[in-house]
């Protein structure tokens, strides 16, 4: 799966369609049409009267020609909504260590610092990296939606409108779990998009995307909806819309429109083995994004409900083993101690088949529906245990919040490249454990795959409750560490190697 700050190719799609229609479909139509009509049309064009022998009535019993399906013309749509689409450019400063990566525990480190000398011929200057993406205006007073990965960690965000005006943007908040960000520019009376309904979107329906692929601003591409409610690895809370719209780096955060000119999704990811578009693109449904937007606008963060279970899909073989009629629902594989699920009496091996009376067709439906519910919400769980149908009630806890603004982060450093903060009392109670939250990653930790928002629970099986404990364990350790990490509802060991 390739997730990139999307940009794309120049707009050639409408020309291709036009050429295909003129040279392909129309030619095919001509080969099946009455040749006399073509001759008559040609003669009429030349201003001459066709010979009578050339005009013949079609047999009475001849089948009617099937009407050709007209390919959509997106020009009116683009003219209508194009002004609400923006280009986003970012600048991120990579803060190098003042000792150029030298281990702070190295005696040479203190020697150089005592004399005010940094290794590498002087203090290195911050290195600048630039990114590009897309977004769209959701209110006339300057609120813009885009992808979290477009603006996360950026030191500067600039929004460019179609009228060529540039504005420095403020990041109101980001939600990494849904990959949605809300930013704000100081402007008024801006054109805003209309919000559509992903629920009404049909597979096979035409859709269009506008963005800045590879920096080519205001480029338009189109395609059809390939599938709905698509689950992707590590994307627990988003039922993606799959399309075949050409999406490339720079398109990230841009809108996906239906033929009514309504936004139905935010272009977010592609599936690729080459890093470029290969016919499979994914968009975040706009209803999911708007729920996130409302919370970010009010509080700068997103609160989600937490049940406290780990689970897996029910396969056909598992359904037969558990005596289920259909391979539906979510098979519970673990229950967090002290969690709402634990208090409700759930056990590993339970199969949750319905939530508030609504059947769970897929296991991925459970975290989405739980995440859409506010902490404190009471849910009714229907489950199967040893062939018996049971009803359980659970009151959701709060999912630990992720850091939403760069100003809240500590610089990542130390031996393994981690910056952490303690869990709050609320977060610790929700998780049912102690630990530290990752707020910055680089170096060995980044290479190992650790992410901001991860909760480090233990180092080499020694529990961690404070940043000081983590530092002590790492400083006293060798070159290899096994970090027990909580990521969402899952726990995993992450091996970290210090070179």
Nearest to 53 by CA among 63, 39, 33, 70: 39
Helix (H, G, I), strand (E, B) or coil at 82: helix
Question: What residue ranges in 396-479 does DSSP mark as E strands?
Answer: 397-398, 418-422, 436-441, 455-459, 462-463
Question: How far is the CA of 271 from the CAs of 134, 245, 445, in angstroms?
Answer: 19, 12, 26
Phi and psi of 385, rounded to 5°? -140, 120
Give dist(CA 243, CA 227) in Å, integer.
7
Which residues are marked as active site? 149, 179, 252
Structure tokens at 198: 């992903």
Question: What residue ranges in 300-395 does DSSP mark as E strands?
Answer: 305-306, 309-313, 330-335, 351-355, 358-359, 378-385, 388-395
User: Would you call 176 exposed, middle or buried from its count of C-beta atoms within 10 A (0-12, 13-18, 19+)?
Assistant: middle
Question: How far is the CA of 351 from the CAs of 235, 365, 370, 488, in angstroms?
Answer: 22, 13, 16, 20
Residue pair 17/283 in contact by the 8 Å Cβ criterion: no
- Give the CB-side neighbour count of residue 301, counting CA atoms within 13 A: 14
Nearest to 147 by CA among 260, 270, 231: 270
Token look-up 């040893």 returns 386
Q: What is the CA radius of gyration of the chain?
A: 28
Residue 458: strand pairing partners: 463, 484
CB atoms within 10 A of CB 332: 23
Question: How far is the CA of 74 from the CAs of 69, 99, 263, in angstroms?
Answer: 15, 55, 14
Give dist(CA 329, CA 265) in Å, integer.
27
Q: Residues for the chain: how many in total? A: 499
Helix (H, G, I), strand (E, B) or coil at 397: strand
Token look-up 């029910």 returns 314
CB atoms within 10 A of CB 204: 8
Q: Measured on CA atoms in the order 248, 254, 259, 263, is the torsion positive or negative? A: positive
Taking the CA atoms of residue 439, residue 441, residue 447 and residue 449 in that order, the dihedral angle to the nearest 10 degrees is: 10
Q: How far is CA 24 from the centre of its chain?
A: 37
């Amino acid at each position: 799966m390739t997730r990139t700050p999307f940009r794309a190719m120049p707009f050639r799609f409408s020309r291709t369609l036009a050429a295909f229609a003129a040279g392909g479909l129309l030619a095919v139509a001509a080969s099946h049409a009455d040749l006399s009509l073509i001759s008559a049309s040609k003669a009429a064009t030349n201003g001459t009267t066709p010979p009578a022998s050339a005009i013949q009535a079609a047999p009475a019993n001849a089948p009617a020609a099937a009407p050709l399906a007209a390919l959509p013309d997106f020009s009116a749509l683009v003219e209508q909504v194009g002004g609400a689409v923006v280009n986003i450019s970012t600048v991120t400063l990579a803060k190098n260590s003042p000792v150029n990566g030298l281990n702070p525990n190295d005696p040479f480190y203190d020697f150089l610092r005592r004399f005010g000398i940094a290794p590498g011929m002087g203090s290195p200057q911050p290195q600048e990296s630039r990114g590009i993406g897309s977004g769209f205006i959701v209110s006339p007073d300057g609120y813009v939606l885009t992808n979290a990965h477009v603006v996360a960690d950026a030191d500067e965000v600039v929004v460019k409108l179609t009228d060529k005006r540039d504005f420095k943007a403020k990041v109101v908040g980001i939600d990494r779990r849904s990959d949605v960000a809300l930013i704000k520019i100081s402007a008024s009376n801006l054109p805003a998009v209309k919000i559509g309904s992903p629920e009404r979107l049909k597979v096979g329906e035409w859709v269009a995307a506008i963005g800045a692929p590879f920096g080519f601003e205001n480029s338009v591409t189109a395609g059809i909806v390939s599938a709905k409610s698509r689950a992707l690895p590590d994307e627990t809370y988003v039922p993606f819309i799959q399309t075949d719209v050409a999406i490339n780096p720079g398109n990230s955060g841009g809108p996906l429109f239906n033929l009514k000119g309504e936004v139905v999704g935010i272009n977010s990811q592609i599936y690729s083995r080459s890093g470029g578009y290969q016919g499979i693109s994914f968009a975040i449904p706009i209803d999911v994004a708007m729920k996130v937007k409302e919370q970010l606008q009010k509080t700068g963060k997103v609160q989600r409900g937490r049940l406290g279970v780990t689970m897996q899909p029910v396969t056909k073989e598992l359904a037969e083993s558990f005596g289920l009629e259909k391979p539906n629902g979510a098979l519970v594989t673990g229950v967090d101690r002290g969690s709402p699920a634990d208090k409700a009496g759930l056990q590993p091996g339970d199969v949750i088949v319905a939530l508030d009376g609504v059947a769970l067709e897929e296991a991925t439906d459970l975290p989405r529906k739980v995440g859409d519910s506010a902490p404190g919400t009471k849910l009714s769980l229907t489950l199967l245990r040893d062939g018996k149908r049971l009803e359980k009630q659970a009151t959701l806890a709060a999912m630990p919040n992720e850091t939403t603004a760069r100003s809240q982060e500590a610089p990542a450093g130390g031996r393994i490249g981690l910056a952490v903060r303690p869990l709050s009392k609320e977060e610790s109670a929700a998780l049912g454990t102690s630990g530290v939250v990752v707020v910055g990653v680089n170096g060995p930790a980044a290479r190992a795959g650790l992410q901001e928002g991860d909760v480090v629970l233990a180092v080499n099986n020694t529990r961690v409750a404070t940043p000081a404990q983590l530092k002590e364990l790492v400083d006293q350790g060798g070159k290899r560490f096994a970090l027990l990490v909580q990521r969402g509802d899952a726990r995993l060991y992450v091996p970290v190697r210090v070179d």
